[in-house]
Each structure stands twice: as structure tokens, then as C-alpha cells.
Structure 1
Amino acid sequence: MPSKNNSSPRLLLWLAIALVVILLDQFTKVLILGAFQLGDSRHVTDFFNVVRVHNTGAAFSFLAGAAGWQRWFFVGLGLAATVFIVFMLKRHGQQSLFALALSLILGGALGNVIDRLLHGYVVDFIQVHWGGWFFPAFNIADSAITVGAVLLIWDELRRVRKT
């Protein structure tokens, strides 16, 4: 385990990456809120639209139809995940791929928590489609969480192969 002196600069690096994700996420959401009305959609390419969707649920609108309790449940879950991830970053910040993955997940989770606290919903705006099939809209925070999860799996597969 690294000494405290070695872990602090690494922790700051990982937290800075999470902050960049949060800032990019919130900046793009402000742009969407300013330029689009709820339900608006603009065709960009044959497979990509920019839309404005409000998601009161989780991924793929899971629990979106609940009575409102889900807002605070997901805020609490995001804050609990934040505490756990920061603890893991303090402990394993020297493991670059692992820590990068956690930083992306942390930034994405907090980006969506900020939305829930400010608006009561998450602003989604990226819509991918092909041949009449539309993937649920998502945002920068969701993308960071997804990339972070993929990196966690990749890191684990690399670790298992070494043993």
C-alpha cells in the first residue's frame, strides 16, 4: 500500500478527472436546457439525434413511473457510491486503469445526482438509432459511467490473466 504522501497527489488526479466529467456533463446539459424544449429532437446524422428528455428513473428509465421516491433513492445511492469510490481511490489510486474507471463512474454518478437535486430528473439528450430502432436517450454522465464499467471489466480480466 502506498504511503499517504504518494496517495494524495494520485487521489487529486483521479478527483480532477471526475470533476472534468461533471463539468462537461453539466455544461452540455445547460446547453440542451437552453436550446431545446422538452421532447424536441434534431436530426444530426442517419444514426444520431440530439433530443431533450427528462428521466426521473435510472438507466433505461427504470423506475421512472414510480411515485417520486426514486429521486431521493437515486440521490442517496449516488452519494453512497461517491463515499465508496473515494475510499477505493484513496486505497488503490496507484492502480491506474482501475482508478481511471472509478473516476469516470464517480464523475458520471455525481453529474446525474446534481441533475436530480436541481431538477428532480436527469437531462438526457444523446439519441442513437438505426433502421427504426431507437436506443434510450443518454448523456455525458451515462457515457462516463458506461466507459468506466467497461474499464473495470477490462482491468479485472487483465488482473485475472496475470495470476
Structure 2
Amino acid sequence: MSLRKAYLLIFILLLVDQVTKIYIKTNFILGEEVEVFKWFKILFIENDGMAWGTVIPGVYGKLFLTLFRLVAVGGIGYWLWDSIERKNSSNYLIVAISLILAGAFGNIIDSVFYGIIFDDSQQEVATLFADQPYGTWFHGKVVDMFYFPFWHGNLPSWLPVWGGKEFTFFNAIFNIADMAISTGVGILIFFNKKAFHHE
């Protein structure tokens, strides 16, 4: 795969990711939910930290996380260029890196810009390019919306630790960027030999 095709894939993913996020931000109130199917819902939440809602504590935690993401994207971008231009790597690896790069960059856009272009989504639909934004540079919140609660109920009481407790499978809420990252990592794991085979 050429560098141009890899960039095109990244651009398309970024476009779809940002269009869906902006649509959700400008049409949903925080916490609003629409049931598409019993097992698939659109649920608008905002994520302050890393994967699964993890946060770095402290005043500068969010800033550190965003700067770390920027450095990581630079490294992944170099990895993509090096894999195509110098190492003639397999398409499996190039697609995987492109997906990971697009996903990481998609969530960085939220973190860097959303705090200064949107107002608050609590109790009202957010306004794009608001006069009173909810945050500052590098302190935006990542928009998540896809929710697949395939099963919800109480676990059998004979199970150790979790027995008798309420449980939802699959409980994560995510976005297109997260899907791209997960798919890219999945390709690296499940197609490892093909991904790291040089053409």
C-alpha cells in the first residue's frame, strides 16, 4: 500500500469520526440515549481520560495525557512512513498502523479543540463555535456514543466474587476512533505473522 492510500484511509476515518462526534454533540444532551435495537444504543457520554474512562489525577493530568497523545501520534506517524517508504512492509501492518494513527488522532482532536469550540452539553444541546466554551486548549472531553449492551442481568450466585451481582455485557461506550484503534491492534495480534512479513 502506498503512503497516499494510507493517508486517504486515515483522512476518511477522521472525517467519519469527527462528523459523528459533532452530530452527537450538537443534537444530544449529555446522557441522552436512543435505542436502535435492544442490544445497540446511541448513548452520549464524554470521556475525560484514557481508555475505559481512566483519568490521570491532578491539575495537569489532562494536559499531560493530551501532550503524551501528541508525542505518541508523532511516533506512530513515523512508524507508518518508515514501514512504507523504507521497509516495504505488508499491507496488514500498514492498514493496522493507519487505523491506530487515525483513531489516536481522532481522539486528540477532541482533547485539543473541543474545550474551546463547544459549550457545555449538560441540560442542553451544545453549540459549535460557542461564545462561552466549556474548557480551554488541551482540556477538551472525548465524545463517545456507541453502546452494545448485549446482555444485562444478575450473575448466578455460585460464581466467585461477582456471583449474584448485576452485570452488563458489553458495557463499554466508544466512538469511531476507538473502533479504529481496537481494529488496528486486533490486526497486529491476530495477523501477527502476516503483518510483520516484508513484501
Same fold judged by TM-score > 0.5?
Answer: yes
Q: Provide the residue aligned with 1:4 in structure 2.
A: none
1:5 paired residue number: none
CA shift digits 1:66-97 (9 cap, x unpaired): 34533222222221122112211222123211
1:114 aligns with 2:105: no
**Alignment partners' CA distance in 2, 1:147 and 1:140:** 10
Compute the displacement of 1:29 (Å).
Answer: 0.4
Please name the residue that 2:60 is paired with.
69
Q: Which residue of 1 aligns with 2:78?
A: 87
Judge which range, 141-150 or 72-81, deviates more.
72-81
How many residue pairs match? The answer is 153
Scaled by the length of structure 1, what TM-score is found?
Answer: 0.85
Distance 2:103 2:110 in 1: 11
TM-score, L = length of structure 2: 0.70
Unpaired runs of at least 5, structure 2: 115-139, 153-167
1:78-157 equivalence runs, <5 A: 78-93=69-84, 94=88, 95-119=90-114, 120-132=140-152, 133=168, 134-157=170-193
Name which of structure 1's ranges 100-109 and 146-155 shifts more when overlaid on structure 2.
146-155
**C-alpha displacement of 1:106:** 0.4
Relative to structure 1, is the Cα distance of residues 68 and 125 closer, same or farther in structure 2, using a 3 angstrom cutoff? farther
State how far apart, in whole Å, the 1-side matches of 2:59 and 2:34 are. 29
CA–CA distance in structure 2, aligned partners of residues 18 and 38 of structure 1:
28
Specify which structure has the higher proportion of helix: 1
Query: Could you tell me the percent identity over the aligned residues?
Result: 30
Distance (Å, rounded) in 2 between the aligned partners of 1:122 and 1:35? 16
Please state how far the C-alpha of 1:159 moved relative to its aligned partner.
6.0
